[in-house]
Amino acid sequence: MSEGYKNRIGNLIRDARKHRGLTQHQLADLLGTSQSAINRIEKGHQNLSLEMLARIGAALDSEIVALGAGPTHLRVSGPTTLSGEIEVKTSKNAGVALLCATLLNRGRTTLRKVARIEEVNRLLEVLTSMGVQCRWLNDDNDLEIVPPKELDLEHIDADSARRTRSIIMFLGPLLHRTDVFELPYAGGCDLGTRTVEPHMAALRPFGLEVKATDGSYHAAVNRAIEPHRPIVLTERGDTVTENALMAAALHPGTTVIRNASSNYMVQDLCFYLERLGVRIDGIGTTTLSVTGLANIDVDVDYAPSEDPIEAMSLLAAAIVTKSSITIRRVPIEFLEIELALLEEMGFLYERSEEYVALNGHTRLVDITTKPSSLHAPLDKIHPMPFPGLNIDNLPFFAVIAAVAEGQTLLHDWVYENRAIYLTDLNKLGAKVKLLDPHRVMIEGPTSFTGTELVCPPALRPAVVILLAMLASKGTSVLRSTYVIHRGYEDLAERLNQLGATIETFRDI
């Protein structure tokens, strides 16, 4: 965007804002940004994506700056060599869990450096519709959340709720707030049918019964029922563990949760609950002992740790483009298995001494990648619950295996149909063979060639395709990229800062 063009757009936005009778502060609130950002935009000092222009146009009801609707697409020119430094943003999954957990607290919660992604935006829309005050404080993405005395569950934003999988994590906090309530069905990634029954099994000991009919969860709570023995989770799921933790946090007594997930987002939730005054023993293990409170009303400040899945995305980007970049604030304790496996495959890198995240607990390092010639691992690659290889990191090994010498078998045993999306890499020149719904065989090395693809409906495979496009010769187009925005903040722009050439566009 040229300087003259930015000035003209800035003037148009300023005039449209004044025409609507809005202050810069009011427009900033509508857009979920800061007044200083609006000031920069109006002075022509800010680059604007078409998506942001469309949002401004909608907020101001101004066709002048509503440059088309419909999905956003990415145009990628390659092959790319990346260079420079990039900082890992805070965890998407921790941010989502913490937003749900703020419903436990009647006081003010300030969350630091929250991932500004579509999944978070949808949850904020749902919380706001329930009467919760949600306010972005600054350009650092600090977020203030203040609940009302009584939640308004009658007017919950059903459209936003249905566009997120995370709505199911409202069950744990809400069962303490009201005896009967409804939540719209969860949506989100298309990963096959994943039952909600593990959540029900975790929450029934607190008296919750849920019937799923007419696109809603109909919930009723029997206050006479309390946990009288340890809750044993039938699957070591992250969100199931989080729901059980949130239910236990407002139960005045000690609840033991066995076969609990000890994954990164669960640990962040535990550290936040401790700030609320809840006592938790066993953080980082599969047995959690939670001593809850009858009422929580405190003003707290918490900073979630960095996102290991984003860190893995950036590592994969460097590996497939044979680039040397420095990735700062990598949560090493949640990537140790992945890095050990990559070392076996021939990946070369340097890492700094460890230091501590802002949450006071999580171990971080800085990693500098080196151009490496990889070979296939001797054994298959499969995920396991933490401390094993993370299920969300498995897809990145598909594009990594595609540039490695030899055959690599990936076994995605958790999700029914996610592996099938990895075969989209074939359209870019890879050799990915689907053996069954859970297993793919990948033969490398690959010389990727650009093409046009529609984004897979699952978040991580969508990013895998984008990373392969970085390494592809020629121009590629990735269409309908909303799913990427659900889990990553400004991914294309940040890759561009490392030397990529990715253009966001719409069909106007």
The mean pLDDT of 184-212, rounded to a whole number, is 72
The mean pLDDT of 459-482, rounded to a whole number, is 94
Q: At 368, give phi and psi (nearest 5°).
A: -110, 115
pLDDT at res. 62: 56
Q: At 236, give phi and psi (nearest 5°).
A: -85, 60
Q: What is the 3-state secondary structure (H, E, C) of 479-504?
A: ECCHHHHHHCCCHHHHHHHCCCEEEE
What is the rounded (10 degree) CA torsion for 295, 300, 303, 307? 20
Q: Is the pLDDT of residue 99 over 90?
A: yes
Structure-model confidence comparison of residues 178 and 369, the more confident one: 369
pLDDT at res. 194: 47
pLDDT at res. 61: 59
What is the rounded (10 degree) CA torsion for 164, 166, 168, 169? -160
Cis amide leading into 387 (omega within 30): yes
Name residues whose C-beta falls within 8 Å of residue 262's C-beta, 6 or more positions apart in sequence.
Answer: 283, 284, 285, 286, 385, 386, 387
8 A C-beta contact, residue 24 and residue 35: yes
| Distance from C-alpha of 405 to C-alpha of 151, rounded to nearest angstrom | 57
Q: Is the pLDDT of residue 488 over 80?
A: yes
Residue-wise pLDDT for 239-276, tens only, equals 999 999 999 999 999 999 999 999 999 999 999 999 99
Residue-wise pLDDT for 266-310, tens only, equals 999 999 999 999 999 999 999 999 999 999 999 999 999 999 999
Alpha-helical runs (H) found in 154-228: 158-162, 171-174, 197-203
What does the block give as tokens for 286? Answer: 């599969």
The mean pLDDT of 488-493, rounded to a whole number, is 90
Residue-wise pLDDT for 37-85, tens only, equals 899 888 888 887 777 777 787 677 554 444 445 678 999 999 999 999 9
DSSP strands (E only) in 21-142: 72-78, 83-87, 109-111, 133-136
Amino acid at 221: V
Residue-wise pLDDT for 332-387, tens only, equals 999 999 999 999 999 999 999 999 999 999 999 999 999 999 999 999 999 999 99
pLDDT at res. 188: 39
User: What average pLDDT is seen over the chain?
Assistant: 90
Q: At 303, give phi and psi (nearest 5°).
A: -120, 110
Name residues whose C-beta falls within 8 Å of residue 490's C-beta, 6 or more positions apart in sequence.
Answer: none
pLDDT at res. 193: 36
The mean pLDDT of 173-185, rounded to a whole number, is 89
Window from 28-32, 92-96, 180-184, 203-207 with minimum mean pLDDT: 28-32
8 A C-beta contact, residue 170 and residue 129: no
| Residue whose C-alpha is closest to residue 163's, from 456, 490, 486, 487 | 486
| Residue whose C-alpha is closest to residue 86's, from 493, 501, 380 | 493
Structure-model confidence comparison of residues 18 and 330, the more confident one: 330
The mean pLDDT of 97-109, rounded to a whole number, is 97
| Residue whose C-alpha is closest to residue 427's, from 397, 445, 450 | 450
| Distance from C-alpha of 96 to C-alpha of 247, rounded to nearest angstrom | 16
| Distance from C-alpha of 92 to C-alpha of 77, rounded to nearest angstrom | 28
Q: Is the pLDDT of residue 223 over 50?
A: yes
| Distance from C-alpha of 233 to C-alpha of 64, rounded to nearest angstrom | 54
Half-sphere exposure of 31 (CA within 13 A, CB side): 28
Residues composing the chain = 508
